[in-house]
Amino acid sequence: MRSIFPALCLFPLCPLILSASGSWSQWRGDDRNGKGAPGLEISGSWDQQAPELLWESDLIPSQDDGGFGSLVSDGERAYLSLVWHRNEPTETRTISSLFLRKFGARKVNLPPELVAKAEKARLNLSPRLRGTKLDEWIEEWIDENLDQKQKMTQGSLLASRFKKGKLAFDLSDIDLLFSAKDRVFPSQRALDQWLEEKPFSPGMREKISQAVPPTKRVADDVVVALDLKNGTTLWKASLPGTPSGRSSSSTPCIRDGKLYTVGSNRIFSVDLAKGKVDWETPLELDGIAGSVLVHDDLVIALVGNLRAYHRESGKLAWTNKQVSGKSASPTLWKTSQKEFIACNGGKAVFLVDPKDGTTFGTGPGGGSSTPVCQGDWMLVHGKDEKTGLIAYHWKDSSFTEAWRFPKLTRRADSSPLIHNGHAYLIGAGMRACLDLETGKLIKKEMAKHDISSPVLIGGKILAYEINGSFLQLIETKPNEFGVITKAKIGALRCTSPSLAGSKLMIRKSDRIACYELSAGQPAKP
């Protein structure tokens, strides 16, 4: 999609007024809190002119071919770090995770008796049950037979199988395929021989044989620099990498003319003036999704464990083995007395001394969401439904849990916002506004927000809806908390909007797009 905003003429709204300068130096902005640069102002929403599409870049892959990392900017250029995948011909054949997903082989993870009941219902569906009636039947069956957690984790899978009816893959065939997951066959003949030996359903052998690709995946760790004025590719820094698919989704950090990021199996630094790699340090695992944090002379990242590397050399400075994972991004919490590195581990949030990496304390949390800090307050969106959104308060040389907003949700990846004494959660299928000090729920609405973290600009929130299909402008006034307007934008799901002053940078499925939010209005002096 090249022309996106003509549809926005449907929205009769107020002018937008923004500053033209500003940087977005790391994941979630300069202070890692989702807020645009000081001086930005937005007074209403897009008018009938709509935000102007400034440019779209050349091809830049995403998802399985390039991950879900977001953009950063120094105000003159936009930068993106990705593991750039491609396919090369090969004699071998592999039943990879990527093949299984694209082939449509998905396991149903439900109790055996419930699986049997669902399969019986699927095979006995009346051919007259179509369209809206089928949708209603599916919704009713899922509602009657699945609990809330099962609905969120398996509901969509069962729905797709019901819609396919007798054409859905037999579950025994799926189990057989998964028994050979990641197995490399030396040739097409070897693959076909294995298929003949297994009790697949009629016709399934031929489908699999033809679908397994005659290629192998290769990848490079790439940093792309784009001219913020026109989207021209200024340079690409590249290193041979390891195929890691969509799991490699780290957003870079820029500081003092250098860029720091995580690739497929390394952490490395790039000189922004030269577009050349300064140093690289290998990692023991691949598929890192968390983003690096630069603090003083250290580059801090959750790469299996929370680790700090010296900015100038890439040498390891310290490791905290208590904090494990590879999806969360550390952030800096500057309280009135001390400063910490705050990071979600697998099951808890940790506060770590940035000087030596020792653990100061832990609390409920965990998951891939980035903690958000402001003064003596820290918000954590934990993955456990009993934790939900939790607020910590620093007082008297310690931090304590102030309140929590429990929820039941499938995903808890979206990071919260703090604005004018209020906490905002835009994600996990809802919009919620709470009083920061008391945790009192002011307003909550169910909405189709998912993984993407929102950003704040001029007192308004920008957030994706329906897997990035739409960009929403949301009011932050507690009593008016809701959508002002929205635009069809086609952003890549799991990424988040990035700002460079009045420019909005969006990652799409196959390129980068940049928009002028000011809609031609001058900035305030």
Q: What is the 3-state secondary structure (H, E, C) of 456-467?
A: EECCEEEEEECC
β pairing state of 470-475 and 52-56: unpaired
Hey, what CATH topology would domain 5-87+217-516 get?
Methylamine Dehydrogenase; Chain H (2.130.10)
Contacts of 263 (CB under 8 A, 6+ apart): 81, 83, 221, 239, 241, 248, 250
Which pLDDT does position 348 carry in this prediction?
94
Give φ, ψ of 118 to 5 degrees: -65, -40
Which pLDDT does position 39 carry in this prediction?
64
Could you give the CA distance from residue 149 to residue 206 in angstroms, rounded to a whole number?
A: 37
Which pLDDT does position 411 carry in this prediction?
66
Could you give the CA distance from residue 344 to residue 368 in angstroms, rounded to a whole number?
A: 7
HSE, side-chain direction, 13 A CA sphere, residue 338: 17
Which pLDDT does position 420 carry in this prediction?
93
Sign of the torsion formed by the C-alpha atoms of 183, 189, 190 and 192 = positive
- How large is the average pLDDT for residues 126-149? 92
Beta carbons of 302 and 255 less than 8 angstroms apart: no
- How large is the average pLDDT for residues 300-318? 97
Q: Torsion angle of alpha carbons 359, 361, 364, 366, nearest 10°?
A: -20
Strand ranges inside 253-344, DSSP E: 253-255, 258-262, 266-271, 276-282, 293-295, 298-310, 316-325, 331-334, 339-344
β pairing state of 253-255 and 417-419: unpaired
Nearest to 447 by CA among 464, 431, 423, 471: 431
Which pLDDT does position 38 carry in this prediction?
65
* pLDDT tens sequence across 191-240: 999 999 999 999 999 999 999 999 999 999 999 999 999 999 999 999 99
**Domain span(s) for CATH 2.130.10.10 in the chain:** 5-87+217-516
Helix (H, G, I), strand (E, B) or coil at 179: helix
The Cα-based distances of 291 to 25, 218, 315, 368, 449 in angstroms read 12, 23, 18, 11, 22
Which pLDDT does position 479 carry in this prediction?
83
Confidence check: pLDDT of 523 > 50: no
Give φ, ψ of 342 to 5 degrees: -105, 130
What residue type is 446 in one-letter code? Answer: M
Nearest to 165 by CA among 230, 220, 121: 121
Confidence check: pLDDT of 521 > 50: no
Nearest to 518 by CA among 11, 13, 54, 16: 16
